[in-house]
């Protein structure tokens, strides 16, 4: 089993603060995806990173894939209450199955 | 992005009955679909990989006779929870892989199953 450790598990911050979520593994992934999930809904794909060292930006969200394709980070600048949700990273490997991290539950207080 | 639908959104059933959940890719063909289970405040756990035209591949610890999967077409996979019991109550989510988009997986909205 290829594990993907995600941290922190919980994060409660004030509106306007910055935050970073990390996903780490000892395994190499062909690609890594970040999702956001609202309660009672399925995960929604935010971004896919494929190349080692790749950085992608989605408005106030910055995603980075590690050079060795074993880790990734999600940085949110000036968080807003609308960013509240469960953030999931998922690494793709053989057979293109996804290994999910444990998730980070983010709450942004106004 | 690609759209995946699930039906029903929620279902309540009596213990011992069987429940069928449908997963459809609406605007793309999916040779592979995945079924996940999610408990409250936890991440997704892969149950099985559904391949069009062949038998599903189940993860360790998942009973294939309990969770029947059928992937009869390129846009439809079904999960049937047979003889459901209260411990089967959970949030079931399917995803479909779009070969045209870096093999990205797109998720359905989920089905909440409650077994009384």
- Tens digits of per-residue pLDDT, B8-57? 999 999 999 999 999 999 988 888 899 999 988 888 999 999 888 888 99
Contact A5, B77 (CB under 8 A): no
Q: Which residue of A has its CA nearest to B51?
A: A95
Q: Which residue of B has its CA nearest to A45?
A: B106
- What span, in angstroms and rounded, lies between the C-alpha atoms of A95 and B49? 10
- What span, in angstroms and rounded, lies between the C-alpha atoms of A46 and A31? 13
Contact A79, A108 (CB under 8 A): yes
- What span, in angstroms and rounded, lies between the C-alpha atoms of B16 and A23? 40
- Residue B40 is predicted with a pLDDT of 86
**Is residue A2 scored above 60 in pLDDT?**
no
The pLDDT > 70 percentage for chain B reads 97
CB contact under 8 A, B106 and A40: no
Mind listing the pLDDT tens digit for each residue in A53-106? 999 999 999 999 999 999 999 999 999 999 999 999 999 876 667 888 999 999
- Model confidence at B104, pLDDT cuts 50, 70, 90, reads confident
Considering only CB atoms, which chain B residues are within 8 Å of A33?
Answer: 104-105
**Is residue A1 scored above 60 in pLDDT?**
no
Count other Cβ atoms within 10 Å, centred on residue B104.
21
Considering only CB atoms, which chain A residues are within 8 Å of B90?
Answer: none
Considering only CB atoms, which chain B residues are within 8 Å of A101?
Answer: 43
CB contact under 8 A, B110 and A41: yes
Residue by residue, DSSP assigns B51-67 as ETTS--EEPTT--TTTE
Considering only CB atoms, which chain B residues are within 8 Å of A95?
Answer: 49
Mind listing the pLDDT tens digit for each residue in A41-68? 999 999 999 999 999 999 999 999 999 9
- Residue B97 is predicted with a pLDDT of 85
Least CB–CB distance from B108: residue in A42, A90, A95: A42
- Residue A10 is predicted with a pLDDT of 95
DSSP state of A15: T
Q: Which of A34, A30, A16, A29 is nearest to A74 (CA)?
A: A34
């Amino acid at each position: 089993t290829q594990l993907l450790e995600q941290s922190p598990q919980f994060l409660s911050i004030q509106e306007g603060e910055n935050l970073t979520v990390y996903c780490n593994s000892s395994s190499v992934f062909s690609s890594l995806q970040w999702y956001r999930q609202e309660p009672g809904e399925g995960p929604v794909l935010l971004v896919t990173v494929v190349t080692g060292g790749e950085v992608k930006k989605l408005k106030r969200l910055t995603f980075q894939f590690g050079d060795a394709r074993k880790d990734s980070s999600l940085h949110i600048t000036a968080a807003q209450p609308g960013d509240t949700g469960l953030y999931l990273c998922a690494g793709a490997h053989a057979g293109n199955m996804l290994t999910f991290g444990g998730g980070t539950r983010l709450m942004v207080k106004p | 992005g690609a759209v995946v639908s699930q039906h029903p959104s929620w279902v309540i059933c009596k213990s011992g009955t069987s429940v069928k959940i449908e997963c459809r890719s609406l605007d793309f063909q999916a040779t592979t679909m995945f079924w996940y289970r999610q408990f409250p405040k936890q991440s997704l756990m892969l149950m099985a990989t559904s391949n069009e035209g062949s038998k599903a591949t189940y993860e360790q610890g998942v009973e294939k006779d309990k969770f029947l999967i059928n992937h009869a077409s390129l846009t439809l996979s079904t999960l049937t929870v047979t003889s459901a019991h209260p411990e089967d109550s959970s949030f079931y989510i399917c995803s479909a892989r779009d070969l045209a988009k870096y093999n990205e997986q797109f998720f359905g909205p989920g089905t909440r199953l409650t077994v009384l």
